[in-house]
Amino acid sequence: MLRSMLVRSASPVKQGLLLRGYASESIPNRKVVILGAAGGIGQPLSLLMKLNPLVSSLSLFDLANTPGVAADVAHINTRSQVSGFMGDDNLGKALEGADLVIIPAGVPRKPGMTRDDLFNINAGIVKNLSIAIAKYCPHALVNMISNPVNSTVPIAAEVFKKAGTYDEKKLFGVTTLDVVRAKTFYAGKANVPVAEVNVPVVGGHAGITILPLFSQASPQANLSDDLIKALTKRTQDGGTEVVEAKAGKGSATLSMAYAGALFADACLRGLNGVPDVVECSFVQSTITDLPFFASKVRLGKNGVEEVLDLGTLSDFEKEGLEAFKAELKSSIEKGVKFANQ
């Protein structure tokens, strides 16, 4: 996918000819908005979205510093027109006409914190941004990156319900970084080319709620139970590994920008009618008894086309699933309660 994002030509038609899944020369116009665009994730994500030939308009919003980021990114000779918007007074202008809104706005963790410790600050930020989305671009797809994802997605859903704009097919918690990590760690231990690896990651996006399904990994490798346990733990703790390594200077930004760009690209391909676009995401779901759940999702012209079921789980994975259900349920309820206060 990144190969298609990095095509050298600035001509959309020429780029379109090189794009996987596109039969005709015309690529639809798509406006992508990044809320929190001047932040640690926001800046590299802005760069990666500027490289994506599916984007015709890139709107960068933050409370401060967006003019500089926008001016910088705008000089790159790719298809999209870039605009920068700063401050809440300009949020509406940033959002109008959006096809896809990506939200990495909010504070990151410091060592010793859980993602839930971010709730007190980020819940309010996400609530306000969701109110604006409901008002200015109610039909846009929303990719929620801000943590705790297990609560911020339900917050956005409740805000949209209150505004009468909720479409469960259009709201996504971005869990792609868990998949990216699971693929990287698995490839290292299974000794297979990382580019060929697929690993579904289900559940949620915090600690034990992150459940990589290595029993369904491809290519298959004969890994011991102990190794599977260790890989599972490393995937669950991947965010903390980065938080500790950054020692107070934030959490994953570059790998998250990569993962966010991958997921946004999948959403855009789905919107554009490219068939068989499947990614894991935290969405409204009926595949378990929890109202939101991350699993493989087929993306289409209206967002979620199908939430795929979990498939066959190993005993270890079944135990993992049961072990986190109560935590995920309570994080979801916390978000719902906050939004309705």
Ligand X SMILES: O=C([O-])CC(=O)C(=O)O
Ligand Y SMILES: NC(=O)C1=CN([C@@H]2O[C@H](COP(=O)(O)OP(=O)(O)OC[C@H]3O[C@@H](n4cnc5c(N)ncnc54)[C@H](O)[C@@H]3O)[C@@H](O)[C@H]2O)C=CC1
Query: Applying CB under 6 A, does 163 fall inside the site for ligand Y?
Result: no
Dig out the tokens for 233 from the structure: 């733990």
Stretch that binds ligand Y, among 3-11, 32-40, 223-231, 286-294 (CB under 6 A): 32-40
Q: How far is the CB of 147 from ligand X (least distance, A)?
A: 5
According to CB under 6 A, which one of 243, 267, 328, 339 is a site residue for ligand X? Answer: 243
Nearer to ligand Y, 40 or 212 (CB): 40
Yes or no: say if 34 and 59 are a contact pair by the CB < 8 Å rule: yes
Query: Applying CB under 6 A, does 252 fall inside the site for ligand X?
Result: yes
x-marked contacts with ligand X along 194-223 as a string, rule CB under 6 A: ------------------------------
Helices (H), the chain: 2-5, 12-18, 42-50, 66-74, 91-95, 119-136, 149-163, 176-190, 225-236, 238-246, 254-271, 315-339
CA end-to-end distance (rounded Å), the chain = 42
According to CB under 6 A, which one of 15, 66, 80, 147 is a site residue for ligand X? Answer: 147
Size (the chain), residues: 341
Tell which phi-psi region holds residue 207, choosing left (phi > 0), alpha (psi between -120 and 50) or beta.
Answer: left
Q: How far is the CB of 134 from ligand Y (least distance, A)?
A: 15
Kindly report the backbone phi and psi dihedral angles of residue 105, in degrees, each rounded to the nearest multiple of 5, phi listed first: -85, 130
Strand partners, 83: 59
Query: Applying CB under 6 A, does 203 fall inside the site for ligand Y?
Result: no
10 Å CB burial of residue 319 (0-12, 13-18, 19+) is exposed
- Using CB under 6 A, list all residues that contact ligand X: 108-109, 115, 147, 177, 238-240, 242-243, 251-252
- Using CB under 6 A, list all residues that contact ligand Y: 35-36, 38-42, 61-63, 104-109, 118, 122, 125, 128-129, 145-147, 149, 174, 177, 205, 250-253, 256
Q: Which residues are annotated as a binding site for NAD(+)?
A: 36-42, 62, 122, 145-147, 256
